């Protein structure tokens, strides 16, 4: 973010309120692209609110998140089929 916005203060660079809207919009575009190919799936973009430990879940499939993030902030969505649709 510092490279993209060299005039931002440290607070602006580290406070998600300044950039989270753009990141969420990009995630929504990716979700819509995914659903165009897989319309039978349900997608949730706030898995933490459902009780899912995103960091541990991603670690279980070989994706290590930087926590707290310094180089990359990651927006995560989870997709799955409704129970009984397997």
| Per-residue confidence (pLDDT) for residue 53, from 0 to 100 | 92
- pTM, whole model, 2 decimals? 0.69
| Per-residue confidence (pLDDT) for residue 68, from 0 to 100 | 76
Q: What is the pLDDT along the chain (86 residues), one digit of tens a residue?
A: 778 888 888 877 777 666 677 778 889 999 999 999 999 999 999 998 889 999 999 999 998 888 777 777 788 899 999 887 66
Spell out the domain ranges in the chain. 10-80
Q: Please give the full DSSP string across the chain, using - where no structure is assigned.
A: -TTT-TTS-HHHHH-GGGTHHHHHHHHHHHHHHHHHH-TT-EEES-GGGGT--HHHHHHHTT-PPPSS-SS------EEEPPTT--
């Amino acid at each position: 973010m510092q490279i993209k916005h060299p005039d931002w203060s440290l607070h602006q660079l580290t406070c998600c309120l300044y950039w989270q809207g753009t990141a969420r919009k990009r995630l929504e575009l990716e979700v819509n692209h995914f659903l165009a190919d897989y319309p039978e799936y349900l997608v949730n973009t706030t898995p933490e609110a459902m009780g899912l430990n995103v960091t541990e879940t991603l670690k279980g499939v070989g994706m290590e998140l930087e926590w707290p993030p310094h180089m990359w902030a990651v927006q995560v969505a989870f997709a799955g089929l409704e129970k009984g649709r397997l």
